Chain A
Amino acid sequence: MNTKVSGSSTDTVEVGPKTYEMPPRVGFTVAHFLTVADIDRSARFYEKVFDGQILSTGDTSGAPAYIQFANTWLLVNVGGGPTPDKPTVTLSVPDPNHINSFMNIRVADIRACYELWKSRGAEFITEPIPKYGEIRCYIRDPDGYIIEVGQSTDLTYG
């Protein structure tokens, strides 16, 4: 199973015919931000389970940690109250049973991913279960976020 960008830089990824960089020199690159209780704990989790590359561990002046994995970058930081650019918004760790959005990892071989990621310490809610034209299961990350792991069995989206 090829789950690692081996022997190459971790600040670019290729999707289709295009290459994306972090930070981008042209256009834009999409990343995912998670509010976490412990930056180091989260960085280690995504490094260990998914072969993420920790590009930055954050700092005491408020910088987030950056973890590159597969086609995306994860930014993790502790929560906090409003800032001038989002004056009404408070960031906090989630209620693990009432979720709005989550990372959804589409895989080529769900059995192989389930076994590998479980062996690395990922806590799965259930084993992979067939449902709606796919086989799915969910991981809880250290802050209670769910991470969907799914393999499509009868659907193709470009």
Chain B
Amino acid sequence: MNTESTDVHYEMPPREGFTITLFITVADIDRSADFYEKVFGGRVLSRGDTKGASGHIQIANTWLIVNVGGGPTPDKPTVTLRVPPDPDNISSFMNIRVADIQACYKLWKSRGAEFLTEPISKYGEIRCYIRDPDGYIIEVGQSLP
């Protein structure tokens, strides 16, 4: 696989172009920041504030933005944000691709991550899933050659 380096460095906030992050609605900003810091070695950049600012955690190539839910805002007048009301009915999730799934499974489990199952071979990869404190699933997968 071609591993030639790119000429773009992504930063937060970006000074040019754009940087992609993932927002998740959570019940407790501190609890989520602690979880992503402890399990994945995330870097907590901000824990939000009482005026509505979100928590920011950098994890590998991305940033996770966490905040409590709420009703519509002028820029999304029909949308309500809430924690997953049913953790077994999911539309989107963080998908962590790993080089060594057994090592990640053992390390992250030792740090308190709750896995649904052990890593299982399926569809040309080995996969397992973590539940985060709000019930979000996080896929952990290693592609097989």
* Complex interface bits, A61-81 against B, C-beta within 8 A gives 1, otherwise 0: 111000001111101000000
Kindly supply a per-residue 1/0 record for chain A positions 7-32, scoring 1 wherever the CB is within 8 Å of any chain B CB and 0 otherwise: 11101111110111111111111111
Partner of B4, one of A12, A107, A113: A12
Chain B residues, CB < 8 A from A97:
78-80
Binary CB contact string for chain B from 1 to 21 against chain A (1 if under 8 A, 0 otherwise): 111111111111111111111
Q: Using CB atoms, name the residue of chain B closest to A89.
A: B88
Would you call B61 an interface residue if the criterion is a C-beta within 8 Å of the partner chain's C-beta atoms?
A: yes
CB <8 Å contact, B21 and A26: no
In the complex the two chains form, is A15's CB within 8 Å of B14's CB?
A: no
- B45 to chain A: which residues have CB within 8 Å? 157-158
The answer to whether A27 and B12 touch across the interface, beta carbons within 8 angstroms, is: no
Within 101-131 of B, Cβ neighbours of A (below 8 Å) are at 104, 116-117, 119-120, 122-124, 127-129
**Pairwise interchain contact A85-B60, C-beta atoms closer than 8 A:** no
Q: Which residue of B lies closest to A133 (CB)?
A: B53
Report the nearest B residue to A23, measured CB to CB: B143
Closest to A70 in B: B20
Q: Given A125-B75, A148-B23: A12 and B6 within 8 A (CB)?
A: yes
Given A16-B9, A100-B25, A28 and B4 contact (CB-CB distance below 8 Å): no
Assess A72 versus B61: contact at CB under 8 Å? Given A8-B4, A84-B120, A157-B46: yes
Determine if A15 and B10 form an interchain contact, defined as CB atoms under 8 angstroms apart: yes
Q: List, in ascending order, chain B residues with CB within 8 A of A104's CB.
A: 20-23, 65
Is B16 a contact partner of A108 (Cβ separation < 8 A)? yes
**CA–CA, A21 to B58, complex, Å?**
17
10 A-B residue pairs with Cβ-Cβ distance under 8 Å, sorted by A, are A14-B6, A24-B97, A35-B92, A63-B124, A84-B122, A94-B91, A100-B24, A105-B18, A138-B75, A157-B46
